[in-house]
């Protein structure tokens, strides 16, 4: 071989050795799928073709690659090239398997993309090979021509490897604009408000119907400014009347709650357990003792607390009215805070729109600055690529020095591993020899006869020298005596439990009789008290609190202001 061919062969051999891991991925897959019947001796042929197509196709060119392929077996090469230059295989599992050894971005840019660019031209070469296999190519008869001999000229120097093209700079993806739904209130909130308004109107109409007491023409008789309303005039003024009637219904409801008597529930039959019976019996016993003590105090000259209890009842009634007024005030305050929150939300929307306009202007300025910065980075990147290309010129000399250094290290390691292996074999032989001697001793001990039968006397002790030592017969007798004593104790305890249970049942029956008597007396007293309360009770309509009126006025004003603001928006 001349210098150029020798260099090409050595570079190919070195490349196949360096990239053996990724070349084996393709060749192994070819033998599994399309090359099941190909001999394993042709494996190196497919490795060389795969290396040339992947790493040397840009350098040697398609024409030189075609001459190398056509010089080989047509059927084998055509089958392998059709398998390797498959678009689906290159983009899927070949790319994924190569990414296990190298960076995925590097694999795609330097290996997969060039193969996809050469794929159409290589496909034409595969079609020519297929035509040649099917004998569809026409061979023209040519006459023998004179073969000229080359002149013995100076061999030109090999061409330098062209520097790799710099990687394309990444381009930022276009950002998606902010969706307009962010600046709009959700539809669900509007639907919930509509449903809430409808439910309030239905409740008010239902309460108005209850007040009318079955009169369907009740609204037609309501006076407005000294006139009688008709059915057509009710609709625009219906909301005002509903508000007034709704307030009156609420006040009547609260008044009925305060004046509604509690029904006596003492006579309702309830099945009680033991704990409830004892608890209720203790309660009635305590009440009986208190009543006796009160009678004794009255006999000794103490005063009657009935006046104090009446005053206490009046004060509690006033406290209940104040609590109801406070509840109504809180409800109206909540409604007022809701109106204020809606107004604040509308103001926040306007402020957000202004901030969004400012952010758009700032974004435009930042994009302009970013574009200038990217131009500067591209210039710096080009300068860096030029410096890297200059640094790659002396790579082969460094590789040769590294190869020699590695060979020296391998030689040293082989010598050291041989010495360690020899020592390990000697230690293993010693261990085997000692183990063999130990086995011989164990077998000699096992071969000696031993007495395995032992006669046991159950009436004798073990002879261990302990204080509580006894024979097995004595132990069995003592266990039988202990079992009889345990059974006698269990029978005695069972009789005691039965006596306690009977006494407890009798106590519960006595308590039940006492409870029934107390309940009957309390029921009669409650009935008499309820009749007296009905006679003395009078219906008084509570006056409306000034705070409630003020809050209602404020709510109406806030609602009008919110409607105006919503119209402007």
Residue ranges covered by each domain of the chain: 3-136
224 bridge partner residues: 227
The label of the residue with tokens 């061919």 reads 5
- Give the pLDDT band of residue 237 (cuts 50, 70, 90): very low
Rounded Cα distance, 313 and 97, in Å: 90
Give buried/exposed letters for 150-180 (b at 16+ CB in 10 A, else e).
eeeeeeeeeeeeeeeeeeeeeeeeeeeeeee
- Give the pLDDT band of residue 148 (cuts 50, 70, 90): confident
> What pLDDT does 515 receive?
84
Q: What DSSP letter does each residue of 45-63 carry, written as one string?
A: HHHHHHHIIIIIHHHHHHH
Q: Evaluate if residue 216 carries a pLDDT over 50.
A: no
For the segment 389-395, the average pLDDT, to the nearest whole number, is 70
What's the chain's length in residues? 569
- Give the pLDDT band of residue 217 (cuts 50, 70, 90): very low
Q: What three-state secondary structure class fits 173?
A: coil
SS percent in the chain: helix, strand, coil, step 5 = 75, 0, 25
- On average, the pLDDT of the chain sits at 78
Bigger pLDDT: 496 vs 6: 496
For the segment 547-557, the average pLDDT, to the nearest whole number, is 81
For the segment 544-566, the average pLDDT, to the nearest whole number, is 78
Q: Evaluate if residue 206 carries a pLDDT over 80.
A: no
Q: Evaluate if residue 78 carries a pLDDT over 80.
A: yes
Percent of the chain surpassing pLDDT 70: 81
For the segment 10-31, the average pLDDT, to the nearest whole number, is 87
Q: What is the pLDDT of residues 435-486, one digit of tens each?
A: 888 888 888 887 776 655 666 778 888 778 788 788 888 889 999 999 999 9
> What pLDDT does 207 receive?
58
């Amino acid at each position: 071989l001349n210098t150029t061919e020798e260099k090409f062969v050595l570079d190919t051999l070195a490349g196949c050795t360096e990239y053996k891991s990724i070349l084996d991925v393709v060749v192994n897959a070819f033998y599994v799928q399309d090359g099941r019947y190909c001999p394993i001796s042709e494996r190196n042929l497919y490795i060389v073709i795969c290396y040339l197509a992947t790493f040397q196709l840009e350098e040697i060119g398609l024409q030189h690659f075609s001459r190398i392929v056509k010089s080989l077996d047509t059927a084998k090469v055509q089958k392998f090239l059709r398998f390797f230059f498959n678009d689906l295989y290159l983009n899927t599992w070949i790319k994924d398997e190569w990414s296990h050894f190298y960076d995925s971005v590097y694999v795609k840019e330097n290996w997969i993309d060039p193969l996809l660019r050469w794929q159409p031209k290589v496909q034409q070469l595969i079609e020519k090979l297929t035509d040649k296999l099917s004998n569809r190519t026409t061979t023209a008869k040519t006459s023998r021509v004179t073969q000229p001999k080359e002149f013995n000229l100076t061999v030109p120097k090999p061409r330098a490897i062209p520097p790799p093209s710099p990687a394309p700079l990444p381009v930022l993806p276009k950002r998606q604009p902010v969706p307009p739904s962010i600046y709009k209130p959700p539809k669900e909130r509007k639907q919930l408000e509509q449903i809430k308004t409808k439910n309030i109107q239905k409740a008010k109409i239902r309460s108005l119907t209850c007040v009318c007491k079955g009169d369907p023409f009740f609204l037609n008789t309501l006076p407005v400014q000294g006139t009688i309303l008709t059915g057509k005039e009710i609709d625009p003024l219906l909301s005002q009347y509903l508000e007034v009637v709704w307030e009156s219904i609420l006040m009547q409801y609260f008044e009925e709650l305060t004046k509604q008597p509690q029904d006596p529930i003492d006579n309702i039959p309830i099945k009680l357990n033991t704990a409830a019976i004892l608890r209720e019996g203790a309660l009635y016993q305590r009440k009986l003792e208190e009543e006796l003590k009160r009678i004794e105090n009255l006999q000794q000259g103490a005063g009657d607390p009935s006046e104090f209890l009446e005053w206490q009842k009046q004060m509690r009634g006033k406290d209940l009215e104040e609590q109801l007024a406070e509840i109504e005030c809180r409800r109206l305050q909540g409604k007022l805070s809701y109106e204020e929150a809606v107004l604040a939300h509308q103001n926040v929307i306007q402020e957000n729109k202004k901030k969004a306009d400012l952010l758009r202007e700032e974004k435009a300025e930042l994009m302009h600055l970013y574009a200038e910065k990217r131009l500067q980075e591209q210039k710096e990147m080009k300068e860096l690529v030029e410096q890297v290309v200059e640094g790659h010129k002396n790579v082969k000399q460094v590789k040769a020095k590294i190869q020699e250094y590695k060979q020296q290290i391998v030689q040293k390691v082989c010598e050291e591993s041989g010495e360690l292996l020899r020592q390990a074999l000697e230690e293993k032989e010693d261990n085997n020899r000692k183990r063999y001697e130990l086995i011989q001793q164990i077998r000699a001990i096992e071969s000696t006869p031993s007495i395995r039968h032992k006669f046991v006397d159950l009436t004798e002790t073990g002879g261990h020298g302990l204080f509580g030592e006894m024979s097995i017969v004595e132990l069995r007798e003592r266990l039988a005596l202990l079992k009889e004593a345990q059974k006698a104790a269990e029978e005695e305890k069972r009789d005691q439990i039965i006596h306690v249970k009977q006494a407890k049942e009798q106590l519960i029956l006595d308590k039940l009789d006492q409870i029934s008597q107390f309940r009957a007396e309390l029921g009669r007293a409650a009935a008499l008290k309820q009749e007296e309360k009905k006679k003395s009770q009078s219906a008084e309509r509570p006056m409306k609190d000034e705070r409630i009126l003020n809050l209602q006025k404020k709510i109406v004003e806030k609602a009008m202001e919110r409607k105006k603001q919503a119209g402007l928006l």
